[in-house]
Structure 1
């Protein structure tokens, strides 16, 4: 039974991923904040789900803003099973609005949640993975790091930083037998709590100076749906893709995989970046860092 810890497992993609892996026989450690308090209902629902499906789940208190919390969650898995097989970085928070209107404190908070939290969890998990000579770091990224759109600037910045963290860390841990996968969801206007819980600019005086762009701002939702061209975008597709790539044998997993039901076109950019990365690494003598061993 492989062990997996998932950050942000209380809702949306994280919850569906937890449920999917429970059904597939993983020992799932679902990370939420305050599982005995404000997240009690979520904890109980996941525990009931596991019981109903004959699966294994432990809902752990995982606050990616806290090094101690990240370490305690990893230690719990290792204490229970003697190893940790998979870390899924899913926790994220959406920020919507004119970039200038977000205060520096808001941008710092965005980065803390969307990228620094993953680094904290990596620092807790990687000593164990390196010791084992085995393991998977899986990041839930975004196609928005390939084609940037306006009015979600802090979120894009955070996802760009997460993508860079994931890729650079991959090159540095491949030689320890630790694999990396970046799952890149596309446009999912429904099925997550992202939009309902989004953070908006704190400096309203600045926002008022952008009144002439109000029509463009109001077009965020319709614009995203236009890319879908009426197609359904089931969030379960992300969980299914995560389960699929985790089932691929060691050494054969892709660095990136896209789950997108729209015509956004991120795979085209990925292909160019992959080819150019291989060319540059070849010139630098770093070819051996591109593959897990």
Structure 2
């Protein structure tokens, strides 16, 4: 059985994942922001299921450090970190202020960096462990009005690949789950730009896009978000050294297209590394 820390565990993929892992007997620490406030109800529900709840705000390095320290003090080790925390943002890129862009990337990119920085010294000393990142098909493709969200997921994809190569000599794995869109609360909680004047410039283009998106979601047969949680569980339970770098979860057409793009990207990475004389460092 593994000791697992999951960020953003109060709802969505994170909530489903901690519940599934707990049901299979793993020692699970559910990382939540505002355990005594906004997420008090979720914390109580998770505790009632026998899961261990830790305060973890991915926007605060001290909070991430304290959460990892709490896991180590309680369980004596940490085997797996699942970076799941993040938010959806939709709107014309121009209508987001620079400050809003900074906030978006802080949540969706730097949050994962902070948690990794907190956990990696311990994983390296152990000589084993795995970082599992919740990515997205949006990290490979960008549709209108999701540019900032896709930019964050693309940045995460590159970070995970960098960790994958750099951490291998220490026995630590870095892998990613690229998931399609599933019916969770991430869409309902999506952020929007504050510059109403610039947003209005895009008028019917943006409203028509959102209407079409909502209509499609209402008409389509919804996917089961537990498919993503199941992918996380499979990665947690795989033998060290056998985990695939990338797991794609979603409808066949979308998943196959992303897998094809990933194969091409991997070949490009190898070619560039060879050209730079550092291909031997790829794992």
1:152 deviates by 1.3
Q: TM-score if structure 1 supplies the norm length?
A: 0.90
Structure 1 residue aligned with 2:18: 18
Q: Does 1:156 align with 2:124?
A: no
| 1:18-97 → structure 2 map (5 Å cutoff) | 18-50=18-50, 57-97=51-91
| 1:1-293 → structure 2 map (5 Å cutoff) | 1-50=1-50, 57-188=51-182, 190=183, 192-213=184-205, 214-222=207-215, 230-261=220-251, 263-264=253-254, 265-291=257-283
1:287 deviates by 4.4
Unaligned stretches of 5+ in structure 2?
Answer: none
**Which deviates more from structure 2 when the two are superposed, residues 240-249 or residues 105-114?**
240-249
1:71 deviates by 0.4
Counterpart contact for 1:186–1:262, Cα < 8 Å: no
Counterpart contact for 1:232–1:261, Cα < 8 Å: no
Alignment partners' CA distance in 2, 1:98 and 1:157: 13
- 1:169-214 per-position Cα deviation (integer Å, ceiling 9, x unaligned): 22111111100110001121x1x11111111110000011112414
Q: Residue 246 and residue 202 in structure 1: after superposition, are their counterparts in 2 closer, same or farther (change >3 A)?
A: same
Three-state SS of the structure 1 residue aligned to 2:52 is: strand
Alignment partners' CA distance in 1, 2:104 and 2:240: 33
Q: What CA RMSD, in Å, does the superposition of the two structures yield over aligned residues? A: 1.8
Counterpart contact for 2:96–2:193, Cα < 8 Å: yes
1:34 deviates by 1.7
1:223 deviates by 5.2
- 1:135-187 per-position Cα deviation (integer Å, ceiling 9, x unaligned): 00000000111121111121111111111111112211111110011000112
Three-state SS of the structure 2 residue aligned to 1:219 is: helix
1:282 deviates by 4.3
Alignment partners' CA distance in 1, 2:85 and 2:244: 22
Alignment partners' CA distance in 1, 2:218 and 2:243: 31
User: In the comparison of the two structures, how many residue pairs are matched?
Assistant: 280
Counterpart contact for 2:2–2:236, Cα < 8 Å: no
